[in-house]
Amino acid sequence: MLEVTPIDEGWILRHDGAALPATVPGCVHTDLLAAGIIPDPFLGRNETDVAWVGRRDWTYETTLSPIPGGHEQTDLVFDGLDTAAEIRLDGQLLGSVRNMHRSHRFDITGLGGRLSVNFRSAYGEAEAVRGRLGERPNAYPEPFQYIRKMACSFGWDWGPTLVTAGIWKRVRLEHWSTARIARVRPVVTVEQGVGRVELHVDVERTRVEAGLTLGARIGGVRAEATVDGTSGVVRLEVPDVELWWPRGYGEQPLYDVELWLSHEGLLDIWRRRIGFRSVELDRGADEHGSGFTFVVNGERLFARGVNWIPDDVLPSRITRERYRTRLTQAADAGVDLVRVWGGGIYESEDFYDACDELGLLVWQDFPFACAAYPEEQPLRGEVEAEARENVVRLMPHPSLVLWNGNNENLWGFKDWGWEQRLAGDSWGEGYYLGLLPRVVAELDPTRPYTPGSPWSGSWDRHPNDPAHGTHHSWEVWNREDYADYRLHVPRFVAEFGWQAPPAYATLRRALPDEELAPDSPGMLHHQKADDGNGKLVRGLARHFPVPEQGFSEGDFDRWHYLTQVNQARAVAAGIEHWRSHWPVCAGTIVWQLNDCWPVTSWAAIDGDGREKPLYHELKRLYADRLLTLQPRGGGLVLAVINQATEPWKGRLTLRRMSVEGGVVAEAGVGFDAGARAVSDVRVPRELEPVGPKEFLVADADPGSDEGGGGGGLRALYFPMPDREVPYPRPRFDVSVSPGGERVTVTAHTLVRDLLLQADRLDPSVSADRGLVTLLPGERVTIGVRGWETLDHLDAETARSALYCVEPAR
């Protein structure tokens, strides 16, 4: 029987002649941090002070204990090495590696002694490859496309430049005899309630003459097969299987699969969990263009998505618990699809396990982003090897529903001047339109593949054509106001977003000694986007009064609040518009769910795990049922969006109101939205608000909840930007429950976008809701959780952490 010996203790890191204790899995940065050699790169401007780490070569060493007898072969297995390294055992070269995204195996039978892993600087490796293959264009000034490594290690417009090295995944010895299971490729299908599993097995042998048997079971179903040379296939049929569904559409039953290899006894065993479901991608042509609609178990979905980046720029620190926490936050916000973005990594099994259990669909990018990638050796062979390994590794997971060739590279070739600069040099097209679809078709025929995001399906059209395939909407934010989201109805919006700073407590931790201002040195260092603060201020100026000289130190709290409000409103403008056009538009994927360090960014959850107002707004925007008022056809339409399994019908109350609180006009209307459908209700002309002093309120009556979840929903429409609205000075009462677990606010005037920034009360505290608008006489109760240092909260203290839109100064 195969035996495993972990090698996770006794490692040292060589540094300037000294031997530092090293943690494996880990990386150079985490070991230097633990030894006190470098400061925390997430604090202040320390990132700059530790830049030298990425330019150095590093060596990890340990001693292998005597290898026990009784086995014919011993392999040294690295699940992940970051990135370019030579592996030596007692001075003998075992091999050289150059790919963070692959595992590596070496036969060390009969060997032992001092094990060393000598890492070359990723800069040195990338620059050497660039020197051999020539320059290629890139959206960022770092050479990440010349090395198979997490691209955002080299910095991004939301990430620091911390170029890592180290043994970032598990390392172990495997002792075995006769044969072992080298690879299992599970092809899982379901038809008419019968689940079919084909386990395509590759074996490695020490003895060619040995007869080998494969056996497998799923529940009470068992099957056997013989190994022909070095491969075999075990087929199982499981009757009456329960289907795996994305969250909101059904349950997520998972089945344990066990496969064993035997010869006069058990030799090796392989275990995974699978789910039975079908997935298709409808890209058919229609009168609107060509679509991009996920179909799971025959059910057409509007995908409610978020983009995922590595949750830490030092990815070896991401634990199973951290994955679970972050993905549970996504599910709790109504998300049903997570796109693993192409500038990061293939995530660990812990990530996909959590998605399987939570019912989160996974769109997996291959790791290519925002650059022209050479297709010559040594890169081409590495790309194919990593693709083959990771496609097979991730195949068991029912949550995985799409392979995507790259992020923005097809678009970049067309629009970013690459074609002229390349002058015929390779740039990745052969990967995205040739190699990768061939690998997916060969190994994983049950899942769709798309060459890139965005991609319109053909070079005959612009790659980012909103009428065809996937679309990235970045004119909004970069140049245009978020109201311009309403100018187009893309078939599927795979990226869009708006920036905001992280929570106040996150900023205070990251910039502990700084007088905070929008343009203070630390704030600017933790703003990586090109002209990011300028875009924030210009975005605010379209909606709110902005001081002529910009925001000063004394205005920081106001700037911080308003930028977070603007982020939530911008994303809401897009999602409400696009959801109201289902099924023409079949999905939105917000950029982005998470951050990898404390930074001003597009994230809904900041680098310390705190939820921004955008996060809470997503709960409303991605709920099964949503009301939204949309200017359309020269008037107003109330779109009743019902993504629930049951029809939704009932009554709506429409109130045309003045900002002083009076009702100008009122009417009740009926609505009837079918299951997974949108129903438009035309707002009568006499109820349309006029001028800056009026707005419209649409409420679903409490009884409008046939099928559940519909009563009490509200939509608001203000025809003018806030800077033109003569808001009354907000007046409200605040009360606090004993112990401080609940804060209740009662409005005496219109209170627009009230927000309790609970982390200002204590860094450990959070609120259970975000922005809320109250009409005169209405109240809201906000849950407060996480107290550590305080056991009570009074009304005045709570009031100090409450913010809302104020009248123009």
d(CA 277, CA 52): 49
Instruction: Give CA–CA dist 241/254, Å, rounded.
Output: 10
The answer to whether 337 and 363 have CB atoms below 8 angstroms apart is: yes
Residue 711 in this model has a pLDDT that exceeds 70: no
What's the length of the chain?
A: 809
Q: Which residues contact 277 (CB under 8 A, 6 or more apart)?
A: 190, 243, 244, 245, 296, 297, 398
Return the closest-CA partner of residue 202 out of 178, 233, 224. Answer: 233
* CA dihedral over 103, 106, 108, 112, signed as positive or negative: negative
For 214-240, how does the pLDDT look when each residue is reduced to its tens digit (9 = 90+)? 999 999 999 999 999 999 999 999 999
Residue range 517-541, pLDDT digits in tens = 999 999 999 999 999 999 999 999 9
Q: How far apart are CA 691 and CA 77, in angstroms?
A: 70
Chain segment 570-612, per-residue pLDDT in tens: 999 999 999 999 999 999 999 999 999 999 999 999 999 999 9
When the pLDDT of each residue in the chain is averaged and rounded to a whole number, the result is: 96
296-312 confidence digits (pLDDT tens)? 999 999 999 999 999 99
The predicted pLDDT at position 274 comes to 98
Look at residue 372 in the predicted model and tell me its pLDDT: 98
Q: E strands within 207-335?
A: 213-218, 221-226, 231-238, 255-262, 266-274, 279-282, 285-286, 289-290, 293-296, 299-300, 303-308
CA–CA gap between residue 167 and residue 24 (Å, rounded):
6
Give the percent of the chain with pLDDT over 90.
93
Pseudo-torsion of CA 742, 748, 754, 756, nearest 10°? -30
pLDDT at 702 over 80: no
pLDDT in tens, 544-569: 998 876 777 679 999 999 999 999 99
Contact (Cβ atoms closer than 8 angstroms) between residue 650 and residue 627:
no
Mean pLDDT, residues 737-765 taken together: 95
How far is the C-alpha of 153 from the C-alpha of 148, rounded, in Å? 11
Helices 556-579 and 532-541: angle between axes, nearest 10 degrees:
80
Q: What is the pLDDT of residue 554?
A: 75
253 and 242 Cβ atoms separated by less than 8 Å:
yes
Domains, in order of start, for the chain: 3-173 (2.60.120.260), 178-274 (2.60.40.10), 282-621 (3.20.20.80), 625-724 (2.60.40.10), 732-803 (2.60.40)
To the nearest whole percent, how much of the chain has pLDDT over 70?
A: 98
User: Prior bond to 83 cis, omega within 30?
Assistant: yes
List of residues 6+ apart from 112 with CB closer than 8 A: 64, 65, 66, 67, 89, 90
Backbone angles phi, psi at 181, to 5 degrees: -80, 115
Distance CA 805, CA 747 (A): 13
Q: Is the pLDDT of residue 789 over 70?
A: no
* DSSP label at residue 370: S
| Average pLDDT of the segment spanning 729-737 | 96
As annotated, the active-site residues are 408
Bond into 583 cis (ω within 30): yes
Contact of 407 with 370, CB cutoff 8 Å? yes
pLDDT at residue 778 above 70? yes
Per-residue model confidence as pLDDT tens digits over 273-296: 999 999 999 999 999 999 999 999
Query: Cα(675)–Cα(586) distance, rounded to whole angstroms?
Result: 15
- Nearest CA to 370 out of 159, 527, 161, 144 is that of 144
3-class SS letters over 577-623:
HHHCCCCCCCEEEECCCCCCCCCCECCCECCCCCECHHHHHHHHHCC
Per DSSP bridges, beta strands 104-107 and 18-21 are unpaired
Asked if pLDDT for residue 710 goes beyond 60, the answer is no
Find the mean pLDDT for residues 77-91.
Answer: 97
**What one-character DSSP code corresponds to residue 415?**
H
Helical ranges in 297-348 per DSSP H: 320-332
Burial class of residue 647 (count of CB atoms within 10 Å of its CB; 0-12, 13-18, 19+): middle
Statement: residue 128 has pLDDT above 50: yes
* pLDDT value of position 356: 98
> Tokens 């830049």 correspond to what residue?
51
Read out DSSP for 226-246?
Answer: E-BTTEEEEEEEETTPPBP--
- Taken in order 488, 592, 153, 170, the sign of the CA dihedral is negative
What per-residue confidence (pLDDT) applies to 633?
86
Q: What is Dmax (Cα atoms) for the chain? A: 90
Q: What predicted TM-score, i.e. pTM, was given to this entire model?
A: 0.97
Q: What is the pLDDT of residue 709?
A: 47
pLDDT at residue 809 is higher than 70: no
Q: What per-residue confidence (pLDDT) applies to 788?
A: 73
Q: Tens of pLDDT along 173-222?
A: 999 999 999 999 999 999 999 999 999 999 999 998 889 999 999 999 99
* 47-82 pLDDT per residue, tens: 999 999 999 999 999 999 877 778 999 999 999 999
Rounded distance, CA 423 to CA 425, Å? 6
Got the DSSP string for 435-501?
A: IHHHHHHHH-TTS-EES-BSB-SSTTS-TT-TTBSBEE--HHHHTB-GGGGGG---S-EEE----B-
